[in-house]
Structure 1
């Protein structure tokens, strides 16, 4: 299976963002796990929340249709009742197989003023084709207690809009997450001008594939490497 991080920019044009994302997804081979940055289709459009949430409904159907023999993950602005959530959707074989809303909202980005927090119990390991997958959304990467929720996963996803000034934090914590959990991490950050980029695919042994100049970061998933790492450096994850 291919692991792919789409390190893309988000414009003010929602439809343009969706068209570009769909083209990238279509270009990915079958049997790929594809992750887009946090709110890649809308950004944090605080002045357009209703518009963004309505657009999400269309985009979800479009992305779901592209998920035949692919796993696709990204977050959307979702409205439930009178509240807005930053919600991850994972699609596989044209089905929605998992959702979770961001639990730890970033106070420096005014997220607490516009979004409601998700349920911590929704952060969990799911299994697709025998592969255990879990997600922490952007700022959630910083919370050790949430690392316990994804312990034992084979792949941990982190869709992010992580600021440029904290680039080293993003890259360091992402690598630590892979090493501590002896798993693959797909760190997928925005390529917007004020964002850190730093998207990477990190193996269970800490090997890092990244390139800030590329939109598509790609490598092969190796379950045997995880098994070997956990066997020879046994910290109780077998």
Structure 2
């Protein structure tokens, strides 16, 4: 399983510009089975226009994800501000397959510090999707700080974290990604943006980490780009059998 992380900038509310940039980055990293984008990758986090027009914009972004998944013959994952069937706003992480089918996870831990709870409604379920022999747990940004919700019960192999994580909390991002990989004996994929918005500066530090807590692929800090790694399931399963952390868990 080849996974590519796509580290990009976000021009707030400039959906078409953002999607064009990301399409170009996809083409720089061909042949992956899965491409992972950041949180609210097409609009920016809590962008006012995205919140106000999430019904139309969310549908447009999901359509683009389906087109790209088909074109690349790969899954595409990333979060979108989306109005659901009940008319409420969700920070929704889509996992889209080449045939147009998809699963989704609604961000469970909304970022109250920045006011996300004022407009968005939290999800209440864990979501694991299987793709080409690998099971992925879907998570969004602030979820990274809450290990109990994501505790591995033997039901997944990889956690995906998509984020808009600021430079000033860079050490937390890097430390907790490693911790989640080690304690859950799994791969961790962390994708963050670069650049700046009216709130923060972002360095990216997008990375793929193995179950030993070691980075096996990473983007250059502060730069737009991609990185890719093979998720070796045979190696992961050998490690789990040899050192049965999950079987000994509380």
Scaled by the length of structure 2, the TM-score of the pair is 0.87
User: Matches of 1:149 and 1:225 in 2, distance apart?
Assistant: 18
Q: Report which stretch shifted further, 91-100 or 24-33.
A: 24-33
Deviations 1:112-135 (A, max 9, x none): 11211112x2x2222122211111
**Aligned-partner Cα distance in 2 for 1:67–1:156:** 20
Q: Map 1:12-27; keep pairs closer than 5 Å.
A: 12=12, 13-27=14-28
Classify 1:11/1:237 alpha carbon distance in 2 versus 1 (closer, same or farther; 3 Å). Answer: farther
In 2, the alpha carbon distance for the partners of 1:71 and 1:176 equals 26
Pair 1:56 & 2:66 matched:
no
Question: 1:199: Cα distance to partner?
Answer: 1.1
Partners of 1:76 and 1:86 within 8 A in 2: yes
CA gap 1:106/1:196 in 2 versus in 1, 3 angstroms:
farther
Q: Deviations over 1:4-40 (max 9, x none)?
A: 1111110021110011112223443234211101001
The alignment status of 1:98 with 2:103, answered yes or no, reads yes
Deviation at 1:232, TM superposition (A): 1.9
Cα pair distance change 1:207/1:149, threshold 3 Å: closer
Residue in structure 1 matched with residue 123 of structure 2 by the alignment:
118
Instruction: Out of 46-55 and 162-171, give the one that drifted further.
Output: 46-55
Q: 1:217 to 1:28 in 2, by over 3 A?
A: closer
Alignment of 1:47-86 (within 5 A): 47-48=48-49, 49-68=51-70, 69-80=73-84, 81-86=86-91
CA deviation map 1:71-107 (0-9, x unaligned): 1101111113442110011011232331111111011
The answer for the alignment partner of 2:164 in structure 1 is 161
Instruction: Provide the C-alpha distance between the structure 2 equivalents of 1:139 and 1:237, rounded to a whole number of angstroms.
Output: 27
Q: CA RMSD in A?
A: 2.0
Match of 1:189 in 2: 192
Residue 166 of structure 1 contacts residue 196 of structure 1 at CA under 8 Å; is this kept in 2? Answer: no
Of residues 123, 129, 132 in structure 2, which corresponds to 1:129? 132
The change in CA–CA distance for 1:56 and 1:150 in structure 2 (over 3 A counts) is farther
Deviation at 1:150, TM superposition (A): 6.8
Unaligned runs of 5+ in 1: none
Q: What is the alpha-carbon distance in structure 1 between the residues aligned to residue 108 and residue 48 of structure 2?
A: 22
TM-score, scaled relative to structure 1:
0.91
Distance in structure 2 (CA, Å) of the matches to 1:19 and 1:51: 20
Distance 1:2 1:229, change over 3 A: same
Going from structure 1 to structure 2, the CA distance change for 1:97 and 1:47 (only over 3 Å counts) comes to closer
